[in-house]
Amino acid sequence: MGTSPGGTEYRLQDATFTILGGDEPIEIPGSGNMTSVSVDLPPGEYLVRLEDGWRLQHREEGESWSNIEAVLLSSNPQAVVVSGGDIVEVAFRFGVGDSYVEMGLGRVNIVIEVEDESSPGGDDSCDPLLQNCAPGEGCFLDILSGDSICATPVPNMGAETPGTQGDLCSFLNSCEVGYNCSLPESPGEMVDVCAFFCDAGGGGGPGCNDGPGPAFTCVAIDGFYGDTEYLDDNLGFCVDCTVWAGNPECE
């Protein structure tokens, strides 16, 4: 449960988080008015999954709880790497109208952070070309929603470091700063790989030479996926056009 700066409260109902990666799955109830739930885990790599069936509710001060339409914007499940003595956080982001709600996990400690129209600054989105996040964080883009978010890069499951061009990835932030988990490995494949963000409009932003090198071509993400309507035409990523020769952006 969490409260926005404007006084609106949010909570999850019928929610269960499952932690995978240990000897047995661990289920954590995420419903009701709880402010946090902690689970200590041995060092290792884990997946945290929000199970189907959840509902998001909200209420203004003095009013009753009511369901609100929300969409899960984050990758699900999400990867988390736990080191000895550390508290590691992973956030589940829910779209609420033009705003969002975040459910954070740390150590694993479930908390709710809410940001809506009343929040100072209103929007913490970042620019994938400028990479204008805090030191150590990357600006990652959800291709399906067009939302961008600052997050700390984490290794993909089984990897020692976050990925770069062509490395397999399961989550947006499984890639290094400047890269994004948004490119299929090849036409017809359902497995994604990391791809470097580049300026497809020639506006002086980063090019493929700044990332994977001259063997790659900077193409507009919007055109590559067939006019998504909500992405800037200048926002691109680097692809190998010998692999993607049939895509209009490579012709």
Which residues touch 73 (CB under 8 Å, ≥6 apart)? 93, 94, 95, 100, 142, 145, 147
Among the residue ranges 5-9, 65-69, 237-241, the one predicted with the least confidence is 5-9
Residue-by-residue DSSP string for 201-245: T-SSS--GGGTT-TTSEEEEHHHHTT--SSS-TTEEEEE-TTTST
- Give the best-scoring range by mean pLDDT among 33-37, 58-62, 218-222: 218-222
Secondary structure (3-state) at 42? coil
Q: What is the mean pLDDT of residues 95-122?
A: 50
Among the residue ranges 7-21, 23-37, 66-80, the one predicted with the least confidence is 23-37
Dig out the tokens for 30 from the structure.
């995420």
pLDDT tens for each residue of 161-212: 999 999 998 778 889 999 999 888 888 777 889 999 999 998 889 999 999 9
pLDDT band with cut points at 50, 70 and 90 for residue 84: low
- Give the pLDDT of residue 110: 40
Which amino acid, residue 178? Answer: G
**Nearest one of 50, 46, 44, 58 to 18, comparing CA atoms:** 50
Q: What is the mean pLDDT of residues 224-229?
A: 74
pLDDT band with cut points at 50, 70 and 90 for residue 122: very low
- Give the best-scoring range by mean pLDDT among 46-50, 131-135, 193-197: 193-197
Is the pLDDT at 103 greater than 70? The verdict is no
Is the pLDDT at 225 greater than 80? The verdict is yes
Q: Specify the higher pLDDT residue, 224 or 77.
A: 224
- Give the pLDDT of residue 236: 94
pTM: 0.56
Query: Which helix (H) or strand (E) element contains residue 192?
Result: strand 192-199
Q: Specify the higher pLDDT residue, 71 or 205.
A: 205
- Give the pLDDT of residue 85: 62
- Give the best-scoring range by mean pLDDT among 72-81, 145-154, 210-219, 226-235: 210-219
